[in-house]
Structure 1
Amino acid sequence: MKRNKPKYMQIIDAAVIVIAENGYHQAQVSKIAKQAGVADGTIYLYFKNKEDILISLFKEKMVLFVEKIEEVIAGKQTVSEKLLVMIENHCRILSDDHHLAIVTQLEIRQSNKDIRLKINDVLKGYLELVDKILISGIESGEFSSDLNVRLARQMIFGTLDEMATTWVMNDQKYDLVEQVPAIHKLLLHGCRGRN
């Protein structure tokens, strides 16, 4: 597996910084190599091209993102708590890594359609996690029995995504994590319906 190879994650982490600081289109492979402290040619032992670096970066970070959220929701009893820690972790992970926030919220969206399709494919793991929370909420009776899971998932992901993008666009001037209780309250209210 690539992620166990030496230098692979070093290059991924360097790419996050270089893409965040220069923009995807100006982020040359040579800049990424320099940031990672490796020779230009070393990059090509791990990645086909810059597009492959961006997709791999998103894939690796998303896997860690989902693993972290699954880990914290595992110990929670109620669906309300699970939703809260999911929202909190989403905001905290981006808040703790400003470069990653810029790459995920801005740079990936400016890429071509082919990259965006591959990125959407990677997002499936995260969306499935949201679905699990919603379905367990319906089963436990915490959420409305007629809740449209697909629509609720889009509402949750769309809200978190827009909050993070707005925060990045405003140069991260306010505390994203402080918004969590209000986001949680709104989303929870929407999922509970009239039950």
Structure 2
Amino acid sequence: MAKRTGEKYDAIIDAAVRVIAEYGYHQSQVSKIAREAKVADGTIYLYFENKDDVLISLFNEKMGAFISDVETALGEVPSAVEQLRELIRLHFEYLESNSQLAIVTQIELRQSNPEVRKQIGLILKKYLNVIDQVIQRGVEQGLFHDDFDPRTARRMIFGTIDETVTSWIMKDCKYSLKDQIEPITKLFLKGIGK
């Protein structure tokens, strides 16, 4: 298997986002992805075992880059309240700027087989850990109450952000996700903030 870097690899990942967003995961044949990436069908198999591997790699690449950007941005924000706001802003801006990726991550990943969902869960765990760190920091800074279950708070935060993006997609992206940043931040802070 070829090294998972380079122009062709990136072209395949980006093509997979476009094809899966347009046709849905189950209707997205490897040949369609190859055609969109402007590579031969066999080239895909130099980098990926199968279509499931393409989907897992796509999520790993895109989510991995996003998590890295979030960690860097949050490292520059001392207050946990502002970190929470920044986390929501980055999440919404990232997906609003690429509605095709939003469709893939919010809709198509959830229709995949159990093994794909398991691999996606491992990748997503890194993001959930970032949310956990924000919550813990808020408690340590005395900005968030300490009498709640942090796992429940994490599920509440991620679930609300996730559902907001899914609703936006289901409404054909007709409004700005960025307009939701302040209302959702305030909602969270009334629940966990002091």
Common fold: TM-score over 0.5: yes
Cα distance between partner residues in 2 of 1:21 and 1:4: 25
Tell me if the contact between 1:87 and 1:184 (Cα under 8 Å) persists in the aligned partners. Answer: yes
Amino acid at match of 2:101: L
Tell me if the contact between 1:156 and 1:187 (Cα under 8 Å) persists in the aligned partners. Answer: yes
Q: Say if 2:14 is the partner of 1:13.
A: yes
Cα distance between partner residues in 1 of 2:26 and 2:40: 20
Q: 1:80 corresponds to which residue? A: 81
Tell me if the contact between 1:55 and 1:118 (Cα under 8 Å) persists in the aligned partners. Answer: yes
Using the size of structure 2 for normalisation, the TM-score is 0.96
Q: Say if 2:23 is the partner of 1:22.
A: yes
Cα distance between partner residues in 2 of 1:7 and 1:18: 16
Cα distance between partner residues in 2 of 1:25 and 1:36: 18
5 Å matches for 1:113-128?
113-128=114-129
Deviations 1:67-108 (A, max 9, x none): 111121111121111000100000000000010000001001
Q: 1:92 corresponds to which residue? A: 93
Q: Secondary structure at the match of 2:26?
A: coil
Q: 1:55 corresponds to which residue? A: 56
Cα distance between partner residues in 2 of 1:130 and 1:2: 31
Q: Secondary structure at the match of 1:4?
A: coil
Amino acid at match of 1:172: C
Q: 1:129 corresponds to which residue? A: 130
Cα-Cα RMSD:
1.2
Q: 2:159 corresponds to which residue? A: 158
Tell me if the contact between 1:138 and 1:147 (Cα under 8 Å) persists in the aligned partners. Answer: no
Q: Which portions of structure 1, spanning 4 or more consecutive aligned residues, are displaced by more than 6 angstroms?
A: none
Deviations 1:33-68 (A, max 9, x none): 111111110000000000000011011111011011
- 1:3 Cα deviation after fit: 4.1
State the number of aligned residues. 193
5 Å matches for 1:168-183?
168-183=169-184
Cα distance between partner residues in 2 of 1:113 and 1:85: 32
- 1:5 Cα deviation after fit: 3.3
Amino acid at match of 2:127: Y
Using the size of structure 1 for normalisation, the TM-score is 0.96
